[in-house]
């Protein structure tokens, strides 16, 4: 299927690894001119060469200065994928004010800053896509990751509010909500969930789904490429009728809440 992205420019934050890298690679394979964003010059350059990205920029949109530098270097895009995010397991009573603010800056404000810059021009051109990579944790908040879940719920609010401003245009704003995903840090995450458990990563994954995701149909981690395929479709002209949606990818289930 031709996703008709050959004349589109796409900016993907947090795109030097994990879900962001898979999204950037898929968009590039579909013909989009992809701009890779990361905080390390080495990782950005490696990713540009690896996926054939149009450009790579070292910037951190989790800070006002970094976002300003990024939007100055890239004044306009057709597709914005707000993927930058962090997560951790931490008891609620131990989550400090600094933790709450750090998670909000990275997971929420980074996307808000970029959307604030790119969204008005998309409306003026009457075409654009903004996609927030949220999480199933936005709807099913983990009791040991409440600060993370809060940021993912906030992303849904921002995305839905922006979508309300697109009525009658060819601009769309959506959220994608992956479930547990097999990315670079998943081994460390599983060991933080089961401290002291000497099992292999595969054994810990199985135990994780048995204890915490018994309703999952897949009973496995999602491959980042599976998320990237959905994002690429929503970002394409073919996804024009999907707007204001929270697309949940969990256990093989895709739900659209409009």
Active site residues: 148
- C-alpha dihedral sign at 49, 61, 242, 125: negative
Burial class (CB in 10 A: 0-12, 13-18, 19+), 179: buried
Alpha-carbon distance values, 209 to 115, 151, 188, 192, 206 (Å): 35, 23, 16, 15, 5
Name 248's bridge partners. Answer: 177, 255
Q: How far apart are CA 103 and CA 255, in angstroms?
A: 26
Q: Which residues pair with 12 in a beta bridge?
A: 36, 81
Q: Using CA atoms, how far apart are residues 191 and 150, in angstroms rounded to an integer?
A: 23
Distance between CA 27 and CA 227 in Å, rounded? 12
């Amino acid at each position: 299927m031709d996703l008709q992205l050959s004349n589109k420019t796409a900016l993907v934050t947090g795109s030097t690894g994990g879900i962001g890298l898979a999204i950037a690679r898929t968009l590039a394979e579909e013909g989009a001119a992809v701009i890779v964003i990361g905080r390390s010059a080495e990782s950005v350059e490696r990713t540009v060469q690896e996926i054939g990205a149009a450009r790579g920029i070292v910037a951190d949109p989790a800070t006002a200065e970094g976002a300003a530098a990024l939007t100055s270097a890239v004044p306009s895009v057709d597709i914005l994928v707000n993927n930058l995010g962090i997560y951790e397991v931490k008891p609620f009573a131990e989550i400090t004010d600094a933790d709450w603010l750090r998670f909000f800056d990275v997971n929420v404000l980074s996307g808000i800053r970029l959307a604030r810059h790119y969204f008005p021009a998309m409306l003026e051109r009457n075409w654009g896509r903004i996609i927030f990579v949220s999480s199933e944790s936005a709807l099913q908040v983990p009791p040991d990751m409440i600060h993370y879940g809060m940021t993912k719920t906030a992303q849904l609010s921002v995305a839905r509010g922006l979508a309300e401003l697109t009525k009658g245009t060819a601009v769309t704003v959506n959220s994608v909500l992956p479930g547990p995903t097999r990315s670079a840090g998943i081994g460390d995450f599983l060991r933080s969930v089961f401290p002291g458990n000497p099992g292999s990563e595969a054994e810990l994954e199985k135990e994780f789904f048995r204890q915490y995701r018994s309703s999952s149909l897949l009973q496995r981690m999602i491959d980042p490429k599976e998320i990237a395929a959905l994002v690429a479709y929503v970002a394409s002209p073919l996804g024009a009728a999907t707007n204001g949606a929270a697309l949940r990818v969990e256990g093989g289930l895709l739900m659209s809440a409009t």
